[in-house]
Chain A
Amino acid sequence: MKRFPSLVCLLLAAAVCAGGSSLSLDVREHVLSNGMKILMVPKPGVPRVVCHVYYKVGSINERPGITGIAHLFEHMMFKGTRVMGVTDFGKNDAINRKIDEVMDKIYRERYWKRGGGDEDKIAPWRKEYEELVKAEKPLIVKDDLWTVYMKNGGTGLNASTGNETTGYYVTLPSNKVELQMLLESDRMMNAYFREFYSEKDVVMEERRLSENRPGFLFGEQVTAAFYAASPYSWQVLGWMDDLKKITRADIREFHDRYYVPNNCVAVYVGAFDPKRILALAETYFGRIPRAADVEPIRTLEPPQAAEKRLSGEGPAPTNLQIMFHTPPEGHPDTAPLQVLSTVLGSGGFGGGFMGRGGGGGSGRLWKLLVRDKQSAVNASAFSRPQWYVGAFQFSAMPRLDKGVSPEDLEKEIWAEIEKIKKEGVTPEELQAAKNRRESNFLRGLQSPMGLTASLGRAELNRGWRSLITDIEDIRKVTNDDIKRAAAVYFVKDNSLTAVYKRKMGR
């Protein structure tokens, strides 16, 4: 039985004005009876529609043993469903049950026993697995969803997993939005996780690719050391051990808990008729039953109460990071910290690895350390509030050709921090930072894909209107707010300092 709640009553149109200028953010929102949110921004013009679905799930919803599963899951969403990607589902399902059985035997032997188990026992099972995979191949329609999207002019086709959210993206011609509704609702309700074990190999290759990026492994250790308890401590890619051992049963459980209509939002930006989109959404997403509510994550970060230091060496450029724990999004101290990071930091990494190009080198740290003292190659600050726990980070790369060490830069940055605690920033710096954040926000609205992503991610945490209220909070920041926030958070017992030195290996 389908239900049509009074659409019109729930259809809200919000016009938002920023800065007294003529900006309006015309977002229409609607909630389906199963709890799924629909956001729409009609933009007449070129007949294309950006269609994104965001789920409120990411690596912070994982636990030791299944780290990396949110990202692995995102990969599996492209491997077909009970409807898509298969010619004879009954036969295919029978084979997959056998695959699960034999892989269960292999995993128990290899991972439950000390020393990796008995290879002689594993070998015949492995052979059996390969035979089953061979038998499954003719039943599989490879990359069915991807091909159908492409054939219909789908662009921006992708998906991504973060700490907090997972998004599924496509942009289609205006007359084909129904295709997205069909395929996305199908993979929400009928996900099947075909070719699970070979896709895990792909994800492990993806992790190796990152490991070969100089500095990645050190960065991973820095994050792990920074968070003692919070699930932000592991990377979205997860630990290799967990990737090896995650099972198809783990994936199913993850699906049933998080991939439910009341845990997601679909966002549409482009040339369309909102009434038509809502009718389609009712038809396709509306057919999926509501599931149990998802509890927010429990473990926040306890007070650190001791300074942390980490040192390492390897094939990446010598650099320094100083990190501090800060409050999450929505906290009154978030806006002052955001403004401060803009004053200090817009120099260094903006225009590529050296922050070349205009505009990039006008932050206070850049002027002081790169331009005037010439002791750094780049220097920047970055504030990342996140949903549950925040971080404020200083980064700098010393001028080795002038004999500067990371420790020298550490002293320079601390001197600057102490100065901010006492004097704060100048009125010009404060106004410039506010202007910059506001116009960055405006610029973000220029790209339909950027707008879609901002709306979807914001909606899942504090509602899409937080995009606007955050800017309003930025406008209200005073120099006293900045001084106070700096004094509270920039203290040794709340910090981690990471010193990395280049050393070439074999």
Chain B
Amino acid sequence: MKKTLALVLALGWITVLSGYGQVEKPSDLKFPELKYDPPDPKALRTVFAGGLRGYVQEDRSLPLVNISAAFDFGSLYDSADKAGLAELLSASLIKGGTGSRTGTEIEDRLDFLGGSLSFNAGERIATLSLTVRSQDLDEGLALFFDVLRDPRFREDAVALEKARLVEGLRQANDQPAAVLAREYERLLYGDHPLTRQATRKSYEGLTVADLKAAHGRFFSPRNAVLAASGDFDRTALKRKIDRLIGPWKSRPSVPPEFPGSFPPVEPGVYFIQRPISQGYISLGHLGLEDTHPDFYAVQVMNFILGGGSFTSRITTKVRSDEGLAYNTGSRFTYRWGFPGTFSGYVQTKSSTVAYAVSLILKEFERIRAELVTEEEMETAVNYYLESFSEVFQTAQTTTSSFANLELTGKPLDYYARYRDRIKAVTREKVLEAARKYIRPDKTAIMIIGDWEPCNQGGEKYPGPLEKFGPVRRVPLLDPLTGDPVKTP
């Protein structure tokens, strides 16, 4: 023992060790101060040829390069008679090939290099992402820009992707969670481009000309933001990309306009029949946009209500205290240009569906009725402050976060000011936010489950579900046709 201790002393470890007397409880720990300033987006920002904006960060730790381009494009822009266009474009942009290469040639080449190229169009943001080893950067970039600039949507590849999308429709009612997500949005937004669903007929009606028209309209340098990180020289990369953009021009395009208001939803229960042993439940209403000044207070409020997993009220009550569910809580979702949704959620066995709903509704009422505790406030605020640097943990997440800000038109100082805005949230502001954004009187309760046992309830909370307001039975739609499923 003495010998090893002497060695430690000799190496000057005493200074390190003396700071580490063992403590028993977290409250006894004293942490050294840690200052962290987020990277400045302006230092990473650059504008390429053709007006293509981008964020570029060198990271030489691995011989890899990540490049992505995010476009303002997605299913939101499908016209009523072309539902599914963005999905089909998403599936066939690469597989349909380019002027000089078939889709198989592109995929085989990337496969051989051990790289990856993928394209994914969501509601309003579509992203092409490339990863290659740095030794293959030139070839990877050439493929990347070839696909962006000159896709040809070859007929055979498009036909195959259509068939696969139709197969997807056949499976679209399989997962109760997926059905709930789809139907809850349809309930809250009504008939709107946000909730438009493709059918077999709409997929089959789409043509190569439609794909080319959509590409021509939305895929231009000015409509995209690039994020590049990895093992490259910044100046050399810019030169390479500028050369590849070369003839790719932006056409002036007018962004489409969408109705920004949504018909009110009648409160009460909306029930979809499925022969399963649990009820899948979402209850709530529309929320707000993340550009709204109330966003920060809402974040803190929802962390306490049901967003902070085990530290939140709904999880503590429904899961920890009562053991009713594995998944439960509350969430605000956000979407670009429209208010998102608010929902309490739980999946629980049929006999405790009503009980779980009643507990969640109680928490909705409670957070509106009284100030949250000092302790809850401290935990929530500290979580956001202390976990803030997470976004910048890799060069890839840093550049793509900045690209996302720029694409969606958010201020570039969003991250620089983020912590101050969280610090400015008070218990009073949390109460105000709860009263404004949690509305039990407007809450729609959507349940997917087996009607009889759900409606009957259990010992602790017997049914019927009418206790929560008028009950409407919602027919399950057949995604292939968009018509109600015929029950056998």
Which of A's residues lie within 8 Å of B, judged by CB? 1, 3-8, 21-23, 43, 45-48, 78, 83-84, 137, 142-143, 146-148, 150-155, 157, 171, 173-176, 178-179, 182-183, 195, 198-203, 205-206, 208-209, 211-214, 275-276, 279-280, 283-284, 287, 315-317, 346, 351, 353-354, 356-362, 367, 370-371, 374, 377, 397, 399-401, 428, 431-432, 435-440, 442-443, 445-448, 504-506
**Across the interface, do B110 and A8 meet the contact criterion of CB distance under 8 Å?**
no
Q: Mark B5-42, 1 if CB is under 8 A from A, else 0.
A: 10110010100110011111110010111101000000
The 3 tightest CB contacts between A and B, nearest first, are A153-B386, A439-B114, A201-B323
CB distance from A166 to the nearest CB of B (A): 18
> Can you report 13 residue pairs joining A to B where beta carbons are below 8 Å apart?
A4-B8, A83-B25, A142-B321, A143-B310, A147-B379, A150-B311, A150-B382, A351-B118, A356-B161, A358-B118, A397-B167, A432-B114, A439-B113
Interface centre among B63, B168, B310, B321, by most chain A C-beta atoms within 10 angstroms, is B310
**Across the interface, do B107 and A198 meet the contact criterion of CB distance under 8 Å?**
no
Interface size on B, residues (CB 8 A): 99
How many A-B contacts if CB must be within 8 Å? 261
Q: Give which listed residue, B5, B111, B117, B170, contacts A317 with CB less than 8 A.
A: B170
Q: A21-B135, A179-B29, A439-B114 are in contact. Are A362 and B163 (CB under 8 A)?
A: no
**Which of chain A's residues have a CB closer than 8 A to the CB of B320?**
142-143, 195, 198
Taking the complex as formed, is B455 at the interface, i.e. its CB lies under 8 A from any CB of chain A?
A: no
**Across the interface, do A353 and B113 meet the contact criterion of CB distance under 8 Å?**
no
How many angstroms between the C-alpha atoms of A155 and B382 in the bound complex? 12
**Across the interface, do A446 and B31 meet the contact criterion of CB distance under 8 Å?**
no
**Across the interface, do A317 and B16 meet the contact criterion of CB distance under 8 Å?**
no
CB distance from B464 to the nearest CB of A (A): 21
**Which of chain B's residues have a CB closer than 8 A to the CB of A171?**
390
Q: Mark B271-294, 1 if CB is under 8 A from A, else 0.
A: 000011110000000000000000
**Across the interface, do B107 and A361 meet the contact criterion of CB distance under 8 Å?**
yes
CB distance from B255 to the nearest CB of A (A): 26
**Which of chain B's residues have a CB closer than 8 A to the CB of A504?**
488
**Across the interface, do A359 and B20 meet the contact criterion of CB distance under 8 Å?**
no
**Across the interface, do B323 and A202 meet the contact criterion of CB distance under 8 Å?**
yes
How many angstroms between the C-alpha atoms of A279 and B323 in the bound complex? 40
**Across the interface, do B117 and A147 meet the contact criterion of CB distance under 8 Å?**
no
**Which of chain A's residues have a CB closer than 8 A to the CB of B112?**
428, 431-432, 435
**Across the interface, do B25 and A316 meet the contact criterion of CB distance under 8 Å?**
no
**Which of chain A's residues have a CB closer than 8 A to the CB of B174?**
214, 315-317
**Which of chain B's residues have a CB closer than 8 A to the CB of A214?**
174-175
**Across the interface, do A198 and B383 meet the contact criterion of CB distance under 8 Å?**
no
Q: Give which listed residue, B116, B168, B311, contacts A354 with CB less than 8 A.
A: B168
**Which of chain B's residues have a CB closer than 8 A to the CB of A202?**
319, 323, 325-326
**Across the interface, do B311 and A276 meet the contact criterion of CB distance under 8 Å?**
no
Taking the complex as formed, is B463 at the interface, i.e. its CB lies under 8 A from any CB of chain A?
A: no
**Across the interface, do B111 and A346 meet the contact criterion of CB distance under 8 Å?**
yes
**Which of chain A's residues have a CB closer than 8 A to the CB of B394?**
446-448
Taking the complex as formed, is B46 at the interface, i.e. its CB lies under 8 A from any CB of chain A?
A: no
Binds A, one of B87-95, B181-189, B332-340, B466-474: B87-95
CB distance from A377 to the nearest CB of B (A): 5
CB distance from A273 to the nearest CB of B (A): 8
**Which of chain B's residues have a CB closer than 8 A to the CB of A78?**
310
Give the nearest-CB partner of B7 in chain A: A6
Q: A151-B383, A171-B390 are in contact. Are A287 and B63 (CB under 8 A)?
A: no
Give the nearest-CB partner of B131 in chain A: A443
**Which of chain B's residues have a CB closer than 8 A to the CB of A439?**
64, 113-115, 131, 133
Q: 4 more A-B contacts (CB under 8 A) besides A182-B22, A357-B91, A447-B394?
A: A22-B63, A146-B311, A357-B118, A377-B163
**Across the interface, do B311 and A147 meet the contact criterion of CB distance under 8 Å?**
yes
**Which of chain B's residues have a CB closer than 8 A to the CB of A359?**
107, 110-111, 115-118
**Across the interface, do B170 and A183 meet the contact criterion of CB distance under 8 Å?**
no
Give the nearest-CB partner of A172 in chain B: B386
**Which of chain A's residues have a CB closer than 8 A to the CB of B223?**
none
Give the nearest-CB partner of B347 in chain A: A209
**Which of chain B's residues have a CB closer than 8 A to the CB of A370?**
160
CB distance from A314 to the nearest CB of B (A): 10
CB distance from A478 to the nearest CB of B (A): 18
**Which of chain A's residues have a CB closer than 8 A to the CB of B175?**
213-214
**Across the interface, do B62 and A446 meet the contact criterion of CB distance under 8 Å?**
yes
**Across the interface, do B278 and A209 meet the contact criterion of CB distance under 8 Å?**
yes
Q: Give which listed residue, B17, B168, B319, B382, contacts A153 with CB less than 8 A.
A: B382
Q: A150-B383, A351-B118, A506-B488 are in contact. Are A47 and B36 (CB under 8 A)?
A: yes
Taking the complex as formed, is B373 at the interface, i.e. its CB lies under 8 A from any CB of chain A?
A: no
**Across the interface, do B311 and A358 meet the contact criterion of CB distance under 8 Å?**
no
**Across the interface, do B311 and A143 meet the contact criterion of CB distance under 8 Å?**
yes
How many angstroms between the C-alpha atoms of A8 and B8 in the bound complex? 9
**Across the interface, do B120 and A212 meet the contact criterion of CB distance under 8 Å?**
no
Give the nearest-CB partner of B352 in chain A: A205
Q: A8-B11, A47-B34, A173-B389 are in contact. Are A211 and B277 (CB under 8 A)?
A: yes
Interface centre among A359, A374, A448, by most chain B C-beta atoms within 10 angstroms, is A359
**Across the interface, do B33 and A435 meet the contact criterion of CB distance under 8 Å?**
no
Give the nearest-CB partner of A281 in chain B: B20
Q: Give which listed residue, B4, B31, B90, B104, contacts A6 with CB less than 8 A.
A: B4
CB distance from B21 to the nearest CB of A (A): 8
CB distance from A201 to the nearest CB of B (A): 3
Q: Give which listed residue, B95, B309, B396, contacts A146 with CB less than 8 A.
A: B309
How many angstroms between the C-alpha atoms of A314 and B169 in the bound complex? 17
**Which of chain A's residues have a CB closer than 8 A to the CB of B378?**
151
**Across the interface, do B111 and A175 meet the contact criterion of CB distance under 8 Å?**
no
**Across the interface, do B114 and A438 meet the contact criterion of CB distance under 8 Å?**
yes
How many angstroms between the C-alpha atoms of A195 and B323 in the bound complex? 10
Taking the complex as formed, is B53 at the interface, i.e. its CB lies under 8 A from any CB of chain A?
A: no
**Across the interface, do A199 and B323 meet the contact criterion of CB distance under 8 Å?**
yes
CB distance from A344 to the nearest CB of B (A): 13
**Which of chain B's residues have a CB closer than 8 A to the CB of A212?**
176, 276-278
**Across the interface, do B95 and A361 meet the contact criterion of CB distance under 8 Å?**
yes
**Which of chain B's residues have a CB closer than 8 A to the CB of A431?**
112
**Across the interface, do A357 and B94 meet the contact criterion of CB distance under 8 Å?**
yes
**Which of chain B's residues have a CB closer than 8 A to the CB of A203?**
326
**Which of chain A's residues have a CB closer than 8 A to the CB of B388?**
153
**Across the interface, do B164 and A150 meet the contact criterion of CB distance under 8 Å?**
no
**Across the interface, do A4 and B113 meet the contact criterion of CB distance under 8 Å?**
no
Taking the complex as formed, is B322 at the interface, i.e. its CB lies under 8 A from any CB of chain A?
A: yes
Beta-carbon contacts under 8 Å, B292-347 to A: 308-311, 315-316, 319-327, 347
**Which of chain A's residues have a CB closer than 8 A to the CB of B349?**
205, 208
Taking the complex as formed, is B385 at the interface, i.e. its CB lies under 8 A from any CB of chain A?
A: yes
